[in-house]
Chains A and B, each alone.
Chain A
Amino acid sequence: MDIPAPVKALKINRWLPYLAVLQSDMRQTQRSWVYRLWVMASVLSAVGYLLYHVGVYQKAGMVQLASTVLSDLLLWTVLGSVTLIIVLTASCISAERGTVADSVLSRGISRYQYFMAKWHARLITVIGTFLVLGGGALACSYFFLQEDLSLMGSIVAMLTVALLLMMVISLGVTFSAVASSTLVGITFLWLLVYGVGFLLTLLPARFPSPYRMLTNLPHVLRGDYSLHDLGQLATYSGVLSIGAALVGLIIFSRRDV
């Protein structure tokens, strides 16, 4: 082995390690079976559900409101998908614990950069995928069903679901950085998300509840939305997500890997 001598000083870009992990994680997520299962299950269930209602509307002549069909689709897709999203996010750091130290964290990257890259990669992948799939379902509902959708209402509905997903993803990444094993992280997060979601439905209507927000989607899709409510949800979601990420960041940057 004859190692080449350096010819000139190496140029350093301090953001490249963050971008390297971000891109690598997005590619890795898209290749994972959990992600593919989530996309496939969402697409198949959406196509099946929409075809049924299009058939009922066009062949039997029964009016099928796009807002009702789409909100049902979003509600059940989200409720069903959350488990897979929990698996996808709560494993993102803990599943690599055996190799991440030697292959990544021993290089020129800080723990902060690594955690942020992982968090952002999962946010982009999961929310991006949801927006693409949801956008497709929205377009199909608009063209093939009794169209009663409002453009702004549709955007607000998609944003509402995206903000709810953002909280789950941020909690998932935090749990994966904090938990001692992937299984423990997934279990605790699953109990937390479904448990708190259920408990919130028991509270009076003035308290925000994810389930109530999702069941209110038909009105939102028709244009009966409140930007104040959306802003409130964005604030809650932002505070919870950033708070959870901060906790994860601090703990991860102090632990042995």
Chain B
Amino acid sequence: MADNPSGLVIETYKLTKIYQNRQIALNDVTLSIEPGSVLGLLGPNGAGKTTFLRLVLGLHRPTAGWVKLFGKTMSPNAADLRRRMGYIPTNPQFPAGMTPITYLDYVARLFGLTSDSRKPRLASLIRAVDLLPVSGEPIAGFSNGMTSRLAVAASLINEPDLLIWDEPTHGLDPEARRSMLELIKRLSREKSLIVSSHNLSDVDEVCNHAAVLSRGQLIYNGSLQDLKGRMRRNHYELDLEGDQKAITKATAAIKNMTEFKTVSLKQRRLELRLNDDSTNTSALANVFMTLADSKVTLVSIRSVGQQTEQAFLDLVEKEESRGFARAYQVEEAA
């Protein structure tokens, strides 16, 4: 820790990338990642996720600001820092004519691993990712799942402290996806990870931190729990049981309540949308009272919408609705 006084794995400060004075890909991103974090990098297409990862890897140079890894500034020549990282791109490309053994050997040599270290390591990894039967076959004929497993092995060959996986479940079948998520969970016990994904349920399952990018700007950086806490809880579905007339009567009574924007009944499922200024606890308490008075049984109640997804969409929507107000905030902050 002596060479890393902050103790942070990644630290960025006012990180900005403008391509050829034409496109602002990333704007003023300041964030830090602590050891042991699993950061979910979220954002719609073109939000700047890949640009951010490339800046962290030193493949691109920042137009302004800086990136520090393990307390040292990242640059295109910082091979020592990249030796502590494992990277999987969105669609891993492999050199033509190589087999898993020759490819992993090549990658290990790119990390500077001596023969004594790399040969046993690559053999163990090939076995671990279930590529032993095809270890001498050309990679060109591999399926998506097999190439993903090979990319995982390549990203782990140098025993990195930080893993950067860009869309690791992209193009995988459900079984392979499940296996990949389990692997991330296992790795997160001893390593720090950045997982960029469009699949919000994946992020929800494996990450404990989230960073949300929108049009190159960081609009959220914090724990996943806090992100979910920002979600508007104003849409509920209630499954009811009892006499149909009693359910209809209770629904009519609920429709008269001012807390709700819409109330609709489809067979025995009651759908409620609260007004933005309503408090969900008191509104739902009134609903329960009405149902109890009408002798209707509540079978189940759920908040509608996948939680992380809803929170993410809310954030992006909120950011976009601010319009020119964003400029005032910048002025105020300055």
Chain A positions within 8 Å of B, measured between CB atoms, are: 1-4, 6-7, 10-17, 19-21, 24, 31, 98-99, 101-113, 253-257
Q: A11-B116, A17-B111, A108-B111 are in contact. Are A99 and B93 (CB under 8 A)?
A: yes
Report Cα–Cα, A112/B78, bound state, in Å.
10
Q: Are B112 and A1 in contact (CB under 8 A)?
A: no
Q: Are B128 and A16 in contact (CB under 8 A)?
A: no
Which of chain B's residues 33-63 have a Cβ closer than 8 Å to chain A? 54, 57, 59-61
B244 located at the interface, meaning its Cβ lies under 8 Å from any Cβ of chain A in the complex = no
Q: Which residue of B lies closest to A106 (CB)?
A: B87
Q: Which residue of A lies closest to B110 (CB)?
A: A107
Q: Are A1 and B158 in contact (CB under 8 A)?
A: no
Q: A1-B149, A20-B109, A103-B95 are in contact. Are A6 and B79 (CB under 8 A)?
A: no
Report Cα–Cα, A257/B77, bound state, in Å.
13
Q: Are B78 and A13 in contact (CB under 8 A)?
A: no
Q: A17-B112, A99-B93 are in contact. Are A106 and B106 (CB under 8 A)?
A: no
Contact with A along B215-256 (1 / 0, CB 8 A): 000000000000000000000000000000000000000000
Residues of A within 8 A of B120 (CB): 7
Q: Are B129 and A1 in contact (CB under 8 A)?
A: yes
B76 located at the interface, meaning its Cβ lies under 8 Å from any Cβ of chain A in the complex = yes
What is the CB-to-nearest-CB distance from A143 to chain B, in angstroms, rounded to a whole number? 39
B87, B89, B97, B112: the one within 8 Å of A14 (CB):
B112
Residues of A within 8 A of B107 (CB): 107
Report Cα–Cα, A11/B93, bound state, in Å.
27
Q: A20-B110, A101-B54 are in contact. Are A256 and B78 (CB under 8 A)?
A: no
Q: Are A102 and B109 in contact (CB under 8 A)?
A: no
What is the CB-to-nearest-CB distance from A4 to chain B, in angstroms, rounded to a whole number? 4
Residues of B within 8 A of A107 (CB): 82, 87, 107, 110-111, 158
Q: Are B114 and A24 in contact (CB under 8 A)?
A: no
Q: Are A12 and B183 in contact (CB under 8 A)?
A: no
Residues of B within 8 A of A253 (CB): 76-77
B15 located at the interface, meaning its Cβ lies under 8 Å from any Cβ of chain A in the complex = no
Residues of B within 8 A of A15 (CB): 112
Report Cα–Cα, A254/B58, bound state, in Å.
10
Q: Are B76 and A17 in contact (CB under 8 A)?
A: no
Residues of A within 8 A of B297 (CB): none
Report Cα–Cα, A113/B111, bound state, in Å.
12
B187 located at the interface, meaning its Cβ lies under 8 Å from any Cβ of chain A in the complex = yes
20 contacts between A and B (CB under 8 A): A1-B149, A1-B179, A1-B182, A3-B183, A3-B186, A10-B113, A11-B116, A12-B114, A17-B109, A19-B109, A20-B110, A21-B110, A24-B106, A99-B95, A102-B92, A106-B59, A106-B85, A109-B82, A254-B61, A256-B19
Residues of A within 8 A of B60 (CB): 256-257
B117 located at the interface, meaning its Cβ lies under 8 Å from any Cβ of chain A in the complex = yes
Report Cα–Cα, A11/B109, bound state, in Å.
11
A-B interface pairs (CB < 8 A), number? 122
Contact with A along B172-196 (1 / 0, CB 8 A): 0000000110110011000000000
Residues of A within 8 A of B183 (CB): 1, 3
Q: Are B93 and A103 in contact (CB under 8 A)?
A: yes
Q: Are A113 and B79 in contact (CB under 8 A)?
A: yes
Report Cα–Cα, A3/B158, bound state, in Å.
13
B130 located at the interface, meaning its Cβ lies under 8 Å from any Cβ of chain A in the complex = yes
Q: A1-B152, A4-B124, A16-B114 are in contact. Are A108 and B59 (CB under 8 A)?
A: no
What is the CB-to-nearest-CB distance from B290 to chain A, in angstroms, rounded to a whole number? 52
B61, B82, B180: the one within 8 Å of A108 (CB):
B82
Residues of B within 8 A of A109 (CB): 79, 82, 110
Q: Which residue of B lies closest to A99 (CB)?
A: B93
Q: A4-B125, A102-B93, A256-B59 are in contact. Are A16 and B112 (CB under 8 A)?
A: yes
Residues of B within 8 A of A257 (CB): 59-60, 76
Report Cα–Cα, A10/B76, bound state, in Å.
23
Q: A101-B59, A108-B83 are in contact. Are A11 and B114 (CB under 8 A)?
A: yes
B61, B111, B113, B159: the one within 8 Å of A256 (CB):
B61
Residues of A within 8 A of B180 (CB): 1
What is the CB-to-nearest-CB distance from A38 to chain B, in angstroms, rounded to a whole number? 21
**6 shortest A-B CB distances, which residue pairs?**
A20-B109, A108-B83, A107-B110, A102-B89, A108-B111, A4-B124
Q: Which residue of A lies closest to B179 (CB)?
A: A1
